[in-house]
Amino acid sequence: MTNSIYIDQKEILKRYKQPDKHTHKGIQGHALIIGGSYGKIGAVSLSAKACLKTGCGLVTVFIPKCGYTILQTAIPEVMVLTDNQEKLISNITFDITPQAIGIGPGLGQEIETQKALHQFLKTNKTPLVIDADALNILSKNKEWVSLVPPKTILTPHPKELERLIGKWHSEEEKINNTISFSKQHQVIIVMKGAPTQIIDGETVYENTTGNAALATAGSGDVLTGMITSLVAQSYEPINAAILGVYLHGLTADIAFPEMGYQSFIASDVIATIGKAFLSITE
Ligand SMILES: NC(=O)C1=CN([C@@H]2O[C@H](COP(=O)(O)OP(=O)(O)OC[C@H]3O[C@@H](n4cnc5c(N)ncnc54)[C@H](O)[C@@H]3O)[C@@H](O)[C@H]2O)[C@@H](O)CC1
Ligand SMILES: Nc1ncnc2c1ncn2[C@@H]1O[C@H](COP(=O)(O)OP(=O)(O)O)[C@@H](O)[C@H]1O
Ligand SMILES: [Mg+2]
């Protein structure tokens, strides 16, 4: 028996935490975004910028060497660690202690990267958000899902979800199969769509914000950065997923009167995150 909860402003106000005025960047959370490959450095850039704009104190990216100058130029606020490979990630190592890790945007699915993800999952204990090609790699190596920590957040779009849990023939079957997967692996699944639903075991949360303006390249990469930022700020993973999805959709609702559907792009989501936060407490 599932219980469904609509995520509206009332539900959000139960979960949203105003930053303490005495805070500083050292206690506002350090997030690590791992991703990028040749030609898809943009995905990890979007995630990293969204991560900072969602309020965490420090953001580091782990990317292939080809992305170094791009990231340091595009987002001076973000710190950069690089793989020893030029075009793809082959060995994930870092000497920082992040409070949350987001992995997958632009990662690619080359076999070397698959092996790097496997090695990373075997030792990682940090709260995790898994998206995009990291999900696609897990779909190719399903036994690796058992390596992720409890309460890990997966953020598949419908195709990524199908690769992970198999085809479904009805909305009901899709939700029931996702609930089974969530319970079996103790993971939270953000089923991105219109609307987005968040599955946490038997509980299904339905988001009430967002519109078709979000159907644009990189908007999911942005969501990954937003959710990772909130986990780094010590939100319980389920609340980070709920608040991140709500704020993400809210940016499209706020921008719509000025921008309509077509010209709203992932960078506009990021630029509107501040207004979305302010509108929560209005
Ligand atoms: N600027 C960049 O560097 C970008 C990089 N990206 C990266 O590109 C990689 C591949 O991601 P993609 O999602 O593009 O490719 P995928 O191959 O994972 O998924 C694309 C397929 O999913 C289907 N699909 C997507 N959303 C759907 C929906 N709502 N309903 C039904 N079917 C849907 C599409 O029809 C298409 O067949 C990821 O690592 C991603 O992070 C993309 O996010 C786009 C932007
Ligand atoms: N028609 C729509 N209405 C509301 N949200 C949408 C719509 N189309 C896409 N989205 C949202 O946009 C995002 C797309 O994610 P994704 O496909 O991963 O993008 P990308 O991989 O290009 O970053 C998801 O959060 C999804 O819920
Ligand atoms: Mg995506």
Report all structural domains of the chain as residue ranges with CATH numbers, in order of start. Answer: 3-280 (3.40.1190.20)
Q: How confident is the model at residue 16 (pLDDT cuts 50, 70, 90)?
A: very high
Residue 2 confidence (pLDDT) above 80? no
Cβ atoms of 193 and 158 within 8 Å: the answer is: yes
Query: Is 167 a residue whose pLDDT tops 90?
Result: yes
How far, in Å, from the CA of 266 to the mean position of ligand 2? 10
Output DSSP code: residue 117.
H
Ligand 2 contact, 156 CB (< 6 A): no
List Cβ neighbours of 82 (8 Å cut-off, separation of 6 or more): 62, 63, 64, 65, 67, 68
For a pLDDT cut of 90, what percent of the chain falls above it?
95
Cβ of 212 less than 6 Å from ligand 2 = yes
Using the mean position of ligand 1's atoms as its centre, give its distance from the Cα of residue 23 in Å. 37
Averaged confidence pLDDT in the chain: 97
Give the pLDDT score at 153: 99
For the Cβ of 102 lying below 6 angstroms from any atom of ligand 1, the answer is no
Ligand 1 neighbourhood includes 103 CB (under 6 angstroms)? no
Rounded-to-integer distance, Cα 154 and Cα 177, Å? 15
- pLDDT at position 222, please? 99
Query: Is 244 marked as a binding-site residue?
Result: no
Tell me how far apart the alpha carbons of residues 209 and 251 are, in angstroms, rounded to a whole number.
9
Does any ligand 2 atom lie closer than 6 A to the CB of residue 157? yes
Output the CA torsion sign for 41, 47, 51, 54: positive
Report which of 1, 3, 6 is spatially closest to residue 196, judged by C-alpha positions.
6
Residue 1 has pLDDT above 80, yes or no: no
- Which pLDDT band, with edges at 50, 70 and 90, does 27 fall under? confident
Ligand-binding site membership of 102 (annotated): no
Alpha-carbon distances of 34 from 16, 90, 157, 198, rounded to whole Å: 26, 12, 19, 23
Query: What pLDDT does 178 receive?
Result: 98
Nearest protein Cα to ligand 1, atom 37: 159
23: Cβ contacts below 8 Å, ≥ 6 apart: 57
The answer to the question of whether 166 is labelled as a binding residue is no
Distance 216 CA to ligand 2 centre (A): 7
Write the CA distances from 158 to 16, 128, 192, 196, integer angstroms: 28, 20, 7, 10
Does the pLDDT at position 82 exceed 80? yes
Per residue in 173-211, pLDDT tens?
Answer: 999 999 999 999 999 999 999 999 999 999 999 999 999
Q: Is 220 in the pocket of ligand 2 (CB under 6 A)?
A: yes
CB-CB neighbours of 26 under 10 Å: 9
Ligand that lies nearest to the alpha carbon of residue 221, given by its number in the listed order: 2
What is the ipTM for the molecules in this complex? Answer: 0.98
For the stretch 33-81, pLDDT in tens is 999 999 999 999 999 999 999 999 999 999 999 999 999 999 999 999 9
Model confidence band, residue 3 (pLDDT cutoffs 50, 70, 90): confident
